[in-house]
Structure 1
């Protein structure tokens, strides 16, 4: 199974939510999945994680964004915060949920193999 690697380039919680759902499904099927949050998108990971539509999702029986991050991480999805994005958002490593890695675009792409699916959310 080819790995799925997502880039979330904007601070849109619904785009991150979509990437998390697909990455978690990939991991549940035994595949590798990673999500790289670039620049302003890193702000979505500021703890405590909350999203504008969390209440609507929870009313529909779906997890909040924070719970979805925890679930995806537990399945083995790699979450990577852009180092420049941390600085841009005025954040530090301890502002991120447990287990989130830090890297830059070069590091993320260096870990991407030729056969991987690279998707933009």
Structure 2
């Protein structure tokens, strides 16, 4: 199965929720799954927006994604702007050039 790379382009919690659930589904089907938080979307790492009733919050959904094998990558510039560390947020730091250079045959989706 082809992999899936999802770019979250802005700080909208619903977009991150969609990216994480889509990536979890791709991972469940046996494909590589990555979610890249671009620039201001990195702020979502410290946002725990309320979830619809009966669904996991963003922190729990991030944990589910990680446990499912989804790679979470945060924009290096976004981390610096938000004053965050990749280590403390348990994500990989990266940039768009590396993301695209390692895309391979992944499908690329931007939310």
Same fold (TM over 0.5): yes
1:119 matched to which residue of 2?
109
1:93 matched to which residue of 2?
86
Q: Scaled by the length of structure 1, what TM-score is found?
A: 0.86
Count, aligned residues: 111
User: SS at the partner of 2:84?
Assistant: coil
Runs of 4+ aligned residues of structure 1 deviating over 3 Å after TM superposition are none
1:110 matched to which residue of 2?
101
| 1:77 aligns to 2:70 (yes or no) | yes
- Structure 1, unpaired ranges of 5+: none
- Provide the rounded CA distance (Å) in 2 between the counterparts of 1:111 and 1:68: 25
1:6-56 alpha-carbon deviations (Å, 9 max, x no partner):
10010001000001001001111111110110100001012xx511x32xx
Q: Scaled by the length of structure 2, what TM-score is found?
A: 0.93
1:23 matched to which residue of 2?
23
RMSD of equivalent CA atoms:
1.2
- Structure 2, unpaired ranges of 5+: none
